[in-house]
Amino acid sequence: MEKFSNSPLEDWINSDSELLELLEHIDLQAGTDIERAKMAFHKLAEKYSLPKYPDDINDRETQQVADFHLYNPISMYEVLGKIKFADKNPENIKSNVLLAAYLIKNKHEPLIDDELDKYLGDDELIGFGYKGEDIYVEMIPIKQGESWFDLGCKMFIETPLI
């Protein structure tokens, strides 16, 4: 009988021998946590055919995955930016990259509603601005009347209407 933990991410690691092997390879190849996280970002996206960047997504139409479960296709870059918005601890970067891959592979998005509400206050969200490269991504919620370009973002993803 297979034993499961309280963490779906941990269960994924323990049940996927190829993933465990890849993570061990990354740990042996790269020296610092940053180097490991960068390598994991690219290797996980390649291994599981996950979109790395927004440009890798051909169709952003909302998909119904299961009863009452809607999913908006999203890239590793975007998910990692959202995770980092909610978890500003840089020591968690490799775990955050792994979480981003897990979420996309399973057609989920990070839940950052509380952090967004706190950031936005009474302002209306119009989308998400992104700046930085791969694991250095920074996601900035763009409020009504703000310019993502003026905030230094290199791309903007409009909030889907569901």
- Encode pLDDT of 87-133 as tens digits: 888 888 999 999 999 999 998 889 999 999 999 999 999 999 999 99
Radius of gyration of the chain (CA): 16
Would you list the domain boundaries of the chain? 8-158
Token pair listed for 118: 């706190």
- For the stretch 29-59, pLDDT in tens is 878 999 999 999 999 999 999 999 999 988 8
Give the pLDDT score at 64. 76
What pLDDT was estimated at residue 1? 40
CA angle 130, 133, 134 (to 5 degrees): 105
Cα–Cα nearest to 113, from 82, 144, 153: 82
Q: What b/e readout covers 77-90, taking b as 16+ CB neighbours within 10 angstroms?
A: bbbbbbbbbebeee
